[in-house]
Amino acid sequence: MTALTARTTHPTALNAQPPFDLLPEGVLDTLLAGPPALRAAIGPLLLDIHASDAETARLATRALAHARVERHHDGPDRQHVRVAFIDCARAGLPPPRGVPGTEHLLAPHDEVNLREGNRIVAIHQAESRTWEGFDPPRGIGVVYTADAGRIAPWEWASPAKRIIEWATLDRPYGLLHGAVLARGGEGFLLAGNSGVGKSTTTAAAMLRGIQTAGDDVSLLEWRSDGGVTAHAAYDSLKVGEASLALLGGRIAAAGEAVGPGIAKHMLRITDIAPETLVQSVDLKAILLPRLAGLARTAIRPAEHGAALRALGPVSSFVMRVAPEATFARASRLVRSLPCYALDLSVDPLEVADTIGDLLERPGSLP
């Protein structure tokens, strides 16, 4: 995927506040005036999901339904963010226009990022003709698309993550890329690029009854006592074909292929082992998994720099909207927790058992 950059300070046919000024008059206000399709509480964040139609509501809420709360959960200690998902095809609206002069430059999965300084203020995805943006003073995010059915399937595993990132940039909490495994409310963050074994390890751990606060993205919150809590942002798990073969039918039966050319199956944690999904975990360490091909999993201390290399760049890429701020959040996390290299065996269930032993006896960490 290529990201073109346009500065909103340059002359353009677009206003400096897309996608809000691209919406037909009254559409956003009417949508937000009605009840949300879902209200979700993710740690200190209260997220209202509004959708233009039933199918878009289903897509936008299925990975967030685990965090559903009633309206009385609103309160002064929570940051309230409203997100409007608007599907032009189903709502009978004209499709949003793109950034003039870029159409011939873009491949299907490319995007245009509109910037103010170092921060991206709006994103336009070419193939689905989708705009994303956030209005900080009002706490309102918009996903405005020509056709929600053309949005890449993996995006629905973590809907509104870029809206959440925009909303939390100046808060003592925010999203980072990684899997969280736990027992008794305490656990580890597994960090690393795609392909290092995080999702396979998470799936195997779930089969062993180990708790999780998410496979891919979690909301990390720094507490007043200096500790860090990971909150479950999404009920989703993406597992590769090889992992499906290793882990068996219980995993495979619950998922659906992500799409052509993507050798992943997208699942919901609650469809596999609902009792393992927990809302919050007190983090005790960062683990850096590596496919080592060993007979038995080994753990050893790791440098904080290695943990930052495993966590910072990929989190900045996934969240996208303020790479420097996301990287700084990752840097703060690796300075807050001890870090360990986890050299994985060839058996995911043996890996899960090793992590389970460490969770039972955290004092056994080297």
182-220 per-position pLDDT tens digit: 999 999 999 998 888 898 899 899 989 999 999 999 999
pLDDT score at 16: 46
β-partners of residue 143 are 85, 132
Return the beta strands (E) in the chain as ranges: 3-7, 38-42, 45-51, 79-87, 111-116, 119-125, 130-135, 140-145, 173-177, 179-183, 186-190, 211-214, 217-222, 228-232, 237-240, 256-259, 262-267, 280-294, 298-301, 339-345
**φ, ψ for residue 360 (rounded to 5)?**
-70, -35
DSSP 262-326: EEEEEE-HHHH-GGGB-SEEEEEEEEEEEEEEESS-EEEE--HHHHHHHHHHHHHHHH-S-HHHH
pLDDT mean for each 10 residues of the chain (366 residues): 39 58 93 96 97 96 94 74 96 86 68 83 88 95 94 90 96 96 96 88 92 95 96 90 65 50 74 93 96 95 97 94 94 97 94 96 80
pLDDT score at 240: 76
pLDDT score at 242: 67
pTM for the complete prediction? 0.91
Amino acid present at 209: G
pLDDT score at 220: 98
Q: pLDDT digit string (tens) for 294-317?
A: 999 999 999 999 999 999 999 999
pLDDT score at 77: 78
**Contact by Cβ (8 Å): 348, 204:** yes
Q: In the structure encoding, which two tokens stand for residue 301, read together? A: 């201390």
- Report which DSSP code applies to 96: P
- Report which DSSP code applies to 2: -
Domains plus CATH for the chain?
A: 3-167 (no CATH), 174-361 (3.40.50)
Q: Give the other-Cβ count within 10 Å of 74's Cβ.
A: 13
Number of helices and strands in the chain (H, E): 11, 20
